[in-house]
Amino acid sequence: MDMKCEQCGRLVVDKPCPFCQSTRVRPLKPEEETANASAAPAATPPPARAEKVFEPPLQRPEAPSKPPVTRVERPRTPPPPRAAPTGAEGEFWGTAPSTPKQEPAVPRKAAPEPKGKEIRGLAEFEALLNAEHFHSVVVCGKSESGKSEISSGFTRANTYFRGRSQSTNLRSTSGKMYTLGGTLPDEVWFQTINTRRKLVFLDPSGEFFKRISPTERQRIGLPDVTPEHFRFVRSAVARMAAVVLVVDLTNTLDEMAASPWLDQETDLEFTLGAIRFLRHDKSPEIENVNLSTLIASRLPRLPRLDVPVLVLFSKADRLGEWTIEPPLRFARRRLPRLHASLRTHASRYRFDFVHTMKTPDVNDPRARDPEVKAVQVERPCGVLLSMEWLLTDPFRWMPKLPTRFLEGF
């Protein structure tokens, strides 16, 4: 039975309409069948559209793999900012855009300086200087040069020959009677000399002078010294009464050389200049300038040391005929660099020999006693008169003439 779609008006067989997919399809009326009898047959619905089947692309033969190329990105420098036009050009272009406001750079916090090792005995010594108002006599020299023996030898001689007994501070000992051990590393030892004039010995460990030694630091390739290296002696220099330099005559570089003690001369010259710098220099430090360079550049403008300096040649009796001449002539001839540094840095100075003495004597009958023989020690002699020149001043009413003017008399 023929049917007609009411939406598109075409003749269809069944619903829905295959042309417009409408379901409004009705059977034909009798008059419509007669009118459409001579008409062409109803169009058949178009055949279904064939769907395209997906076909995978042809696989090409693989090319040999190449190593990956690493791309190096170079830092790009930003172009310089374009300057704003001025004059007529500025009027043509209009007002130049304002540059972005740059935020102030926040300063980075400086790394905290490494805290130095604790110096045993330094806090107590500084309290004696600040609270009791004592003045220091600084003893300088290398390790095992005889600094500790000279300091204690003077206190013993002052007791025996002058009747001025002093209580000895506790310090490291060698474990035997009458023997005196050296100052331990990272330690300072001090001994009161005169309570009326308030004088005190300061005997730092030889390790401190080894750390500031130019020859030693150059030998092992260490950097320049810093203010931290002088912490052991800074307070003593501020309240200083005298300086003692000890030269070990048995410690030589080359006995046949013109100056066998050149390394000790170099170290003591730097130590004396550093003490002069620490005592008189009040200028601030300069950034990016080594401390050694700063000391060398400022020393000529600073005054000389205003305290006496005593140079002691320790263990002089072991050299025999070398030390039969006067100490000043010996210093001029055998230690010219040290002699020149005294003339440069000090106003009052003196050279002297210090001898060693073994107790008891070999010919002494007491040496047969094993207990007495076991305590044989080396003690310095000839220290009393030298130290009295350094510490006492019987002619205070007279003006102090510099030693360099009276050196040859």
Q: Where in the chain is the domain with CATH 3.40.50.300?
A: 122-406
Q: What is the mean pLDDT of residues 243-247?
A: 96
Query: What single-letter amino acid sits at 128?
Result: L
What is the distance between the alpha carbons of residues 109 and 87, in angstroms, rounded to a whole number? 46
Per-residue model confidence as pLDDT tens digits over 27-82: 877 777 656 655 545 455 555 555 555 555 555 555 556 566 566 566 666 666 66
Rg (CA), the chain: 51
- Residue 375: pLDDT band (50, 70, 90) is very low
Of 20 and 263, more confident: 263
Q: What is the mean pLDDT of residues 96-110?
A: 52
Of 33 and 162, more confident: 162
Q: What is the mean pLDDT of residues 222-251?
A: 94
**Can you tell me whether residue 18 is helix, strand or coil?**
coil
What is the distance between the alpha carbons of residues 196 and 166, in angstroms, rounded to a whole number? 12
Torsion sign (Cα): 400, 405, 408, 409? negative
Angle at 210 between CA 204 and CA 212, to 5 degrees: 95
pLDDT at 304: 95
pLDDT at 297: 93
Of 94 and 62, more confident: 62
The tokens describing 113, both together, are: 């300086």
Residue 206 has pLDDT above 70, yes or no: yes
Q: 236 to each of 15, 40, 67, how far by Cα in Å?
A: 121, 133, 71
For the chain, give the percent of residues with pLDDT over 90. 33
C-alpha distance across the termini of the chain, in Å: 159
pLDDT at 263: 92
Per-residue model confidence as pLDDT tens digits over 2-28: 788 887 878 877 778 877 877 787 887
| DSSP secondary structure letter of residue 195 | T
Q: Which fold does the domain 122-406 belong to in CATH? A: Rossmann fold (3.40.50)
- Residue 376: pLDDT band (50, 70, 90) is very low
What is the distance between the alpha carbons of residues 130 and 32, in angstroms, rounded to a whole number? 135
- Residue 340: pLDDT band (50, 70, 90) is very high
Is 289:295 a contact under the CB 8 Å cutoff? no
